[in-house]
Structure 1
Amino acid sequence: MGFAFRKAITKSGLQHLAPPPPAPGALCSEPERQIRSTVDWSESATYGEHIWFETNVSGDFCYVGEQYCVAKMLQKSVSRRKCAACKIVVHTPCIEQLEKINFRCKPSFRESGSRNIREPTFVRHHWVHRRRQDGKCRHCGKGFQQKFTFHSKEIVAISCSWCKQAYHSKVSCFMLQQIEEPCSLGVHAAVVIPPTWILRARRPQNTLKASKKKKRASFKRKSSKKGPEEGRWRPFIIRPTPSPLMKPLLVFVNPKSGGNQGAKIIQSFLWYLNPRQVFDLSQGGPKEALEMYRKVHNLRILACGGDGTVGWILSTLDQLRLKPPPPVAILPLGTGNDLARTLNWGGGYTDEPVSKILSHVEEGNVVQLDRWDLRAEPNPDAGPEERDEGATDRLPLDVFNNYFSLGFDAHVTLEFHESREANPEKFNSRFRNKMFYAGTAFSDFLMGSSKDLAKHIRVVCDGTDLTPKIQDLKPQCIVFLNIPRYCAGTMPWGHPGEHHDFEPQRHDDGYLEVIGFTMTSLAALQVGGHGERLTQCREVVLTTSKAIPVQVDGEPCKLAASRIRIALRNQATMVQKAKRRSAAPLHSDQQPVPEQLRIQVSRVSMHDYEALHYDKEQLKEASVPLGTVVVPGDSDLELCRAHIERLQQQEHEGAGAKSPTCQKLSPKWCFLDATTASRFYRIDRAQEHLNYVTEIAQDEIYILDPELLGASARPDLPTPTSPLPTSPCSPTLRSLPGDVAPPKGEELIEAAKRNNFCKLQELHRAGGDLMHRDEQSRTLLHHAVSTGSKEVVRYLLDHAPPEILDAVEENGETCLHQAAALGQRTICHYIVEAGASLMKTDQQGDTPRQRAEKAQDTELAAYLENRQHYQMIQREDQETAV
């Protein structure tokens, strides 16, 4: 690209990012600007401010350029940060230098200025120079040449961080007139809140005339009747321009849900949306945001968290009394996620692209959800001998969306909560939590603390006394259920069609299902069983004669003898994930759906999926054929699953488990979507009925089997846990007599250098030290990597102490640094899966991933980046557990 053209882009493309003249007193001059990782809603918010997160990304040149790069001047390695909203990468000390090149982030609001605030405006593109860019040029349709070193200066693309359009950085592709054209906001424009809607307001003057003070006081009195959002000044005002095609979205993320998944996914939403429509619930809850956006037409809400997070948002909407109430969609990040399962959002988030999630929210159907009031008062007929000092007269919640229960399940949950509050450091591991639940349930079963539940309760449903029926059943748990799902996906009322004596179960019919459980039926729940169906009713009066454990949507307490009334409160407006209207494949909408579909099924191991899901072609090559199924052309994945399991059972019975193809499928296998995104991603089993076979596959359907060995998926990549391949020299190995001196270290090094696998085994059996180093501190593993000997590397990984993995030679390189620099993908796979650290740096400050990038091996670098991220998560979990 010519100098004049680049200069024009820099000048024109960045001018529109510079802020307009600030309003008097609107901006505060600070000696040092704060590095922010959250959106600033104060009156001192900076126009075009970046949102920084720490990153290990090294494939992008520091965006400020060599002239202003502090790290370049210091000539040392420093930490880097990435802006979640525009995805530029800079050294941490270089953030202040962005002012000198006049580069700001995509503006998330507009200044009031002197123009009429109702004047229609449009959004301009936010052009960013990229030294790495995926996809193809919008003009010529060709891919972008990738540059890998951190010090690469060449700009390969220019892309907009609003609409994501990207062009080659040359005159023939990126025309100068495109700089000033309006931005469409991209494929998700219908849910993006334009920055032109968000107006920074001026603070009212402090000096007012006496007459105006009186008017203002009168206004405050009137405003107190209008609603909580009126009558007080806010730094930002929302001035929407309604459109019937728009469904503006507010995203609320609970960063602590689902093992801190929320903290990671929030960055993706900041990239796809306006940062001022994404809210971290740990920063004050949803109320302020909902008040601010209450006048936005067609507003939708996405709750990212567990069922408790959804209940929090619904209760806040009740308080604010928004008319009409915005419908709420769910991205399940919790553990049970029963409400999310009911509304087709699945049992938990895995790795579905955020872009797909936004499309589902936009296309989802609006449905109603019953919400139930709970009113508890002390039972006046209970004697003093029935009082329990540890009991309370108040329920933890006065409304429920999912269920209210008492007895065994509530007692187990209460024990867990009380133990966690007393010793929180012992409950930071999901595995430990599950073990505690299991242990508590078993001890409660042995003690039989809930076996006399029926003697201490009276249940009246719609005026009918069910107490005699309950006493005959002798349940240890009673559940008042609003939705079909309970206890992480089980169906306690039974599957549709199994309850002919009752109306079909619905979440919007104004009826509760009342179910009793014995210990036997509780145990059968996990294998498809159900409880004793007692009744369906509109109102419940429950009377307890002693303190009994209860829980409301998972919140437990020990409730003193009480009289509890359950009645319909209202209906919440929700978004239900919709099934596509057509089974036509996404890649070819014009093709008719065949009556029958004959399709090849192939499965992928978890090792290969984690390593290669970013590369479709490599993952397809790594897959193992399972067989062929014939299904109707309009089959959804639930039907396809039944055909695959029938096929696999026939194959297994006929051929036995003699080959990878015949290895039995594990119960946890799931479908992979291979067509609708730039990479493979998993489909939650609870959402299989929403997807057609032709949606996720073209000529072949792929499934992920977590128990399939990586060696089976790719014979040339045996897993570290698989047995070492037999060698012709193996039978001749013998231990030498005790009086024979062990081999010298030089002999071992020579065997490793010469790729003499049999000799190395013989020397090791004779007592050779596999941790021996040469004069340059290089281990046997360093030498085996340098010669590319896969057999020797595998042998050392299986037999040498773990310390060999991260041992460094004189220049600070580990064996993984060396393998990455040489582009040895298979050996890198061996070393990483054996547990080598991906965070270690050599004397130049490079990690193994950075060495692969310098070697311009993009696929290896991407694999190492994936595993590095996974390793960091594991380390955080281990530190938290400790």
Structure 2
Amino acid sequence: MWRYRSWDVPQIPAEALHTQKAITKSGLPHLAPPPSAPGALCGESERQIRSTVDWSESATYGEHIWFETNVSGDFCYVGEQYCVAKMLQKSVSRRKCAACKIVVHTPCIEQLEKINFRCKPSFRESGSRNVREPTFVRHHWVHRRRQDGKCRHCGKGFQQKFTFHSKEIVAISCSWCKQAYHSKVSCFMLQQIEEPCSLGVHAAVVIPPTWILRARRPQNTLKASKKKKRASFKRKSSKKGPEEGRWRPFIIRPTPSPLMKPLLVFVNPKSGGNQGAKIMQSFLWYLNPRQVFDLSQGGPREALEMYRKVHNLRILACGGDGTVGWILSTLDQLRLKPPPPVAILPLGTGNDLARTLNWGGGYTDEPVSKILSHVEEGNVVQLDRWDLRAEPNPEAGPEDDGATDRLPLDVFNNYFSLGFDAHVTLEFHESREANPEKFNSRFRNKMFYAGTAFSDFLAGGSKDLAKHIRVVCDGTDLTPKIQELKPQCIVFLNIPRYCAGTMPWGHPGEHHDFEPQRHDDGYLEVIGFTMTSLAALQVGGHGERLTQCREVLLITSKAIPVQVDGEPCRLAASRIRIALRNQATMVQKAKRRSTAPLHSDQQPVPEQLQIQVSRVSMHDYEALHYDKEQLREASVPLGTVVVPGDSDLELCRAHIERLQQEPEGAGAQSSMCQKLSPKWCFLDATTASRFYRIDRAQEHLNYVTEIAQDEIYILDPELLGASARPNLPTPTSPVPTSPCSPTPRLLQGDAAPPAGEELIEAARRNDFCKLQELHRAGGDLTHRDERSRTLLHHAVSAGSKDVVRYLLEHTPPEILDAAEENGETCLHQAAALRQRTICHYIVEAGASLMKTDQQGDTPRQRAEKAQDTELAAYLASRQHYQMIQREDQETAV
């Protein structure tokens, strides 16, 4: 009969023993492992606080993975008896284990040995003494002082302790399957300790620790015949490949099952700011830590080689399109049969491949548990990959000193382009390599792109592109057509998306002369762009469709900037051949198949649904999205929509946007203070323990009935938060229900229009609703004071974003450039005060960026004097854009 070992089950902190009658009565041993046990801890001088998984042969069984944390309200897990911080009576740093989520003071990590507590084991030992080792996984029970959800035994919720440093343990939960019980005899019994663990709802993607064996290196074999073994090893290595012949401390011995889809997660921690590092900790909690890999620690090759024999393996690439390309190229080199399909969690900036496969334009805050479900349920599709072969053009003139004869990549998944867009990307990359400290924010990066694009446009560096290239597609010479078009950029496109989500080939149904665009049909789309069509691309336009082809011969007669999936270079005169390389296996996010209705499961989905729509401010969402009830209370009713019962969110969006276009009383609450902003998105209120945002690119994958129960919640980033909204009147109050409705006095027909001083005072005091009341009562929003300052000037001085937006919506355009006595416009004033959001509002409304004050300064120069370089860069780029627009208008005339 199997006898469990003390290091297989985490033990109870001594401080908490008196509160754990269920455990002490059950006789759970509290013994330290013997020195020879595989889990024996190192001495104090040898202990290392690890934040990564140890793959060496000296890896410790049940080792924690520590990250710094600011969770100050959690009691130290070792208990007061062993807590070093308690003895020192001073504040010290804390660390949290990503795999089991216990929190301890950093000096107390050593004390975990005394209470015999280890993390969930991620592997098992090989050897004769483990022949009878059970092939199933045991629970890893951990005491919790705070626990969400309900007890699996009694179904009641866990009592939440809101006091800091609460010592009372309310729950016992398993780090593997996440089952939780009340910490009392009636709910948690001995049989729960010893029963096998199911690994939870994501068992199909979790790699069990029983599959991963730590192999012990023989101590005498290498010494006995060192030279002979080395020679034999070299011969075998030369036949097997660079990785197969090398000894590894860990061996993967899977137990194949048709129901399992084991997952390897590769995270690029540098992608998406700090998103990669944070999301990796979540994967360590939900999965076996030995199936989560940091790409900055040597890349994906070692892990893929180790797991190559795992049946039904899937891969999740967490990063940008470059990260995905890196993994696909490694799979090509390893020649895995069959190749594992790759899913994407987009953490980069462009994420065009992720958008194509329905994974969205970027990760927001979707729970990791839902991401794992999407990866498991996703459809396997094919993706064309294209070979690039470049060789010098012998017929060209002398070489450019700054050019290279090699492409940055020899294969592409998304696109290959040359001309204007490649030149802008190349300038950005060279500048970032020279001064990396100046490119530490996305805002600054985008402004640099805009400035470089404007400079290249003025210099005309790509206007003669057609004179120096020859393009032959499937034997047809397109050069005459290209010379007639005179494009400044040519793109060879494999997927529908390009340049952060635009569709350069056009939307489906717009190109009747060509076959529909696909990423698995073995064809490339060839598109030419003039400067006009490049500008129109960002607002839904497309380029000039040239052809669809299987092979391309591109001949350049001089050095030209090119880019391969975003990797740029200045390529010397070359002959470039493009041909299909192979097809990669990918995972496409699927539309949810379950169409559970709003009501009980026995009732069919109704033909029509009448659903209340409520919107939430960004302020309230960030503060309350972990508390559904409070967030519901903070939401603001918008109206009611009637949609078909099987509607997806794309269709529902169209109905919601019609709400405020309908006349008074037609279903919309037109008396609301603020209109719905164009940046709103849906919130999923039902499928997770908290609200989370749904990417707009994924709305066609979600049904209305999947995210809502009787009420749809939407996030409006420009809505006033509850803390900023005026107090709503009570139901018994005679004041009208809308907080911004005109007062009865101002509604009287014989009342005189409000004086201009009242409007100015409302703008100065940031009293948005008062200003709206005065306007509805006949107040003149174009009023100026004795110094010629407009209401916009006063609103900017007060820093009132809502008043500024209201004035921009309800005043004539000439107010934007109205100047006071010293020549300052409202934009000058906002730039001097470093008000970035208000500057954005005013610029987008059409204010001139070329206007100067009495000192000759433009708004950009005022921002520079205020030492706001990012705002100055933004204003400079918009100033360039206005100049281009003006030139285009003059040319058109």
Shift of 1:226: 3.1
Shift of 1:58: 2.4
Distance 2:636 2:311 in 1: 50
C-alpha distance after superposition, 1:147-174 (max 9, x if no partner):
2344322111110011000000000000
Gaps in structure 1 of 5+ consecutive residues:
1-5
Equivalent residue number for residue 23 of structure 1: 37
Confirm or deny: 8 A CA contact 2:121 2:209 kept in the other structure.
yes
Distance 1:868 1:102 in 2: 65
Shift of 1:631: 1.1
Confirm or deny: 8 A CA contact 2:34 2:40 kept in the other structure.
no
User: Is the alpha carbon distance of 1:674 and 1:102 closer, same or farther for their aligned partners in structure 2, counting shifts above 3 Å?
Assistant: same
Confirm or deny: 8 A CA contact 1:425 1:881 kept in the other structure.
no
Shift of 1:844: 53
C-alpha distance after superposition, 1:100-150 (max 9, x if no partner):
000000011111142466976110000011111111100001111122344
C-alpha distance after superposition, 1:794-828 (max 9, x if no partner):
99999999999999999999999999999999999
Aligned residues: 874
User: Is the alpha carbon distance of 1:579 and 1:167 closer, same or farther for their aligned partners in structure 2, counting shifts above 3 Å?
Assistant: same
C-alpha distance after superposition, 1:554-590 (max 9, x if no partner):
0111101000000111111100000022422488444
Distance 1:762 1:529 in 2: 41
User: Is the alpha carbon distance of 1:742 and 1:572 closer, same or farther for their aligned partners in structure 2, counting shifts above 3 Å?
Assistant: closer
Equivalent residue number for residue 42 of structure 1: 56
User: Is the alpha carbon distance of 1:842 and 1:871 closer, same or farther for their aligned partners in structure 2, counting shifts above 3 Å?
Assistant: same
User: Is the alpha carbon distance of 1:775 and 1:598 closer, same or farther for their aligned partners in structure 2, counting shifts above 3 Å?
Assistant: closer
Distance 1:881 1:100 in 2: 81
C-alpha distance after superposition, 1:366-422 (max 9, x if no partner):
111010010001100001276xx1111011111100000000100111111111111
Query: Greater CA deviation, 216-225 or 826-835?
Result: 826-835
Shift of 1:757: 20
Distance 2:857 2:73 in 1: 12
Query: Greater CA deviation, 803-812 or 628-637?
Result: 803-812
Confirm or deny: 8 A CA contact 1:613 1:679 kept in the other structure.
yes
Distance 1:170 1:870 in 2: 68
Equivalent residue number for residue 837 of structure 1: 848
Distance 2:713 2:782 in 1: 43
User: Is the alpha carbon distance of 1:466 and 1:602 closer, same or farther for their aligned partners in structure 2, counting shifts above 3 Å?
Assistant: same
Query: Greater CA deviation, 499-508 or 707-716?
Result: 707-716
Query: Greater CA deviation, 766-775 or 702-711?
Result: 766-775
Distance 1:220 1:870 in 2: 62
Equivalent residue number for residue 670 of structure 1: 681
Confirm or deny: 8 A CA contact 2:420 2:489 kept in the other structure.
yes
C-alpha distance after superposition, 1:448-469 (max 9, x if no partner):
1111100000000011000001
Query: Greater CA deviation, 599-608 or 807-816?
Result: 807-816
Distance 2:33 2:889 in 1: 45
User: Is the alpha carbon distance of 1:626 and 1:720 closer, same or farther for their aligned partners in structure 2, counting shifts above 3 Å?
Assistant: closer
Confirm or deny: 8 A CA contact 2:39 2:61 kept in the other structure.
no
C-alpha distance after superposition, 1:46-92 (max 9, x if no partner):
11111111111123211101110111111111111111110111111
Query: Greater CA deviation, 67-76 or 706-715?
Result: 706-715
Distance 2:828 2:22 in 1: 42
User: Is the alpha carbon distance of 1:333 and 1:209 closer, same or farther for their aligned partners in structure 2, counting shifts above 3 Å?
Assistant: closer
Distance 1:838 1:713 in 2: 31
Task: Give SS of 2:31's match.
Answer: coil
Task: Give SS of 2:222's match.
Answer: coil
Percent sequence identity over matched residues? 95
Shift of 1:623: 1.3
User: Is the alpha carbon distance of 1:405 and 1:21 closer, same or farther for their aligned partners in structure 2, counting shifts above 3 Å?
Assistant: same
Query: Greater CA deviation, 836-845 or 582-591?
Result: 836-845
Shift of 1:597: 1.2
User: Are 2:243 and 1:229 aligned?
Assistant: yes
User: Is the alpha carbon distance of 1:642 and 1:875 closer, same or farther for their aligned partners in structure 2, counting shifts above 3 Å?
Assistant: closer
Task: Give SS of 2:130's match.
Answer: coil
Confirm or deny: 8 A CA contact 2:101 2:285 kept in the other structure.
yes
Query: Greater CA deviation, 842-851 or 55-64?
Result: 842-851
User: Is the alpha carbon distance of 1:592 and 1:668 closer, same or farther for their aligned partners in structure 2, counting shifts above 3 Å?
Assistant: same
What TM-score does the superposition give when structure 2 sets the normalisation length?
Answer: 0.78
Confirm or deny: 8 A CA contact 2:120 2:175 kept in the other structure.
yes
Confirm or deny: 8 A CA contact 1:306 1:335 kept in the other structure.
yes
C-alpha distance after superposition, 1:12-32 (max 9, x if no partner):
797699768747999866623
User: Is the alpha carbon distance of 1:753 and 1:593 closer, same or farther for their aligned partners in structure 2, counting shifts above 3 Å?
Assistant: closer
Confirm or deny: 8 A CA contact 1:13 1:179 kept in the other structure.
no
User: Are 2:190 and 1:179 aligned?
Assistant: no
Confirm or deny: 8 A CA contact 1:710 1:717 kept in the other structure.
no
Shift of 1:253: 0.5
User: Is the alpha carbon distance of 1:439 and 1:611 closer, same or farther for their aligned partners in structure 2, counting shifts above 3 Å?
Assistant: same
Task: Give SS of 1:679's match.
Answer: coil
User: Is the alpha carbon distance of 1:607 and 1:838 closer, same or farther for their aligned partners in structure 2, counting shifts above 3 Å?
Assistant: farther
Confirm or deny: 8 A CA contact 1:428 1:880 kept in the other structure.
no
Task: Give SS of 1:711's match.
Answer: coil
Distance 1:845 1:148 in 2: 59
User: Is the alpha carbon distance of 1:112 and 1:665 closer, same or farther for their aligned partners in structure 2, counting shifts above 3 Å?
Assistant: same
User: Is the alpha carbon distance of 1:611 and 1:312 closer, same or farther for their aligned partners in structure 2, counting shifts above 3 Å?
Assistant: same
Distance 2:267 2:148 in 1: 28
Distance 2:150 2:827 in 1: 33
User: Is the alpha carbon distance of 1:866 and 1:372 closer, same or farther for their aligned partners in structure 2, counting shifts above 3 Å?
Assistant: closer
Shift of 1:850: 45
Shift of 1:651: 3.7
Shift of 1:614: 1.2
Distance 1:433 1:335 in 2: 11
Distance 2:542 2:606 in 1: 39
Distance 1:639 1:765 in 2: 34
Shift of 1:663: 2.3
Task: Give SS of 1:862's match.
Answer: helix
Confirm or deny: 8 A CA contact 1:17 1:103 kept in the other structure.
no
Distance 1:779 1:831 in 2: 14
Task: Give SS of 2:867's match.
Answer: coil
Task: Give SS of 1:533's match.
Answer: strand
Distance 1:22 1:581 in 2: 52
Confirm or deny: 8 A CA contact 2:784 2:791 kept in the other structure.
yes
Equivalent residue number for residue 590 of structure 2: 578
C-alpha distance after superposition, 1:651-686 (max 9, x if no partner):
478899997626222111100001101111000001
Task: Give SS of 1:727's match.
Answer: coil
User: Is the alpha carbon distance of 1:867 and 1:36 closer, same or farther for their aligned partners in structure 2, counting shifts above 3 Å?
Assistant: farther
Distance 1:135 1:238 in 2: 35
User: Is the alpha carbon distance of 1:864 and 1:289 closer, same or farther for their aligned partners in structure 2, counting shifts above 3 Å?
Assistant: farther
Shift of 1:710: 1.6
User: Is the alpha carbon distance of 1:16 and 1:879 closer, same or farther for their aligned partners in structure 2, counting shifts above 3 Å?
Assistant: farther
Shift of 1:228: 3.9
User: Is the alpha carbon distance of 1:20 and 1:832 closer, same or farther for their aligned partners in structure 2, counting shifts above 3 Å?
Assistant: farther
Distance 1:29 1:842 in 2: 71
- 1:212 pairs, out of 192, 213, 226, with 226
C-alpha distance after superposition, 1:485-531 (max 9, x if no partner):
00000000011111111111110111000000011111111111111
C-alpha distance after superposition, 1:708-756 (max 9, x if no partner):
1125985339999999999999999999999999999999999999999
Distance 2:887 2:731 in 1: 24
Task: Give SS of 2:637's match.
Answer: strand
C-alpha distance after superposition, 1:748-770 (max 9, x if no partner):
99999999999999999999999
Equivalent residue number for residue 66 of structure 1: 80
Gaps in structure 2 of 5+ consecutive residues:
1-19
Distance 1:58 1:35 in 2: 20
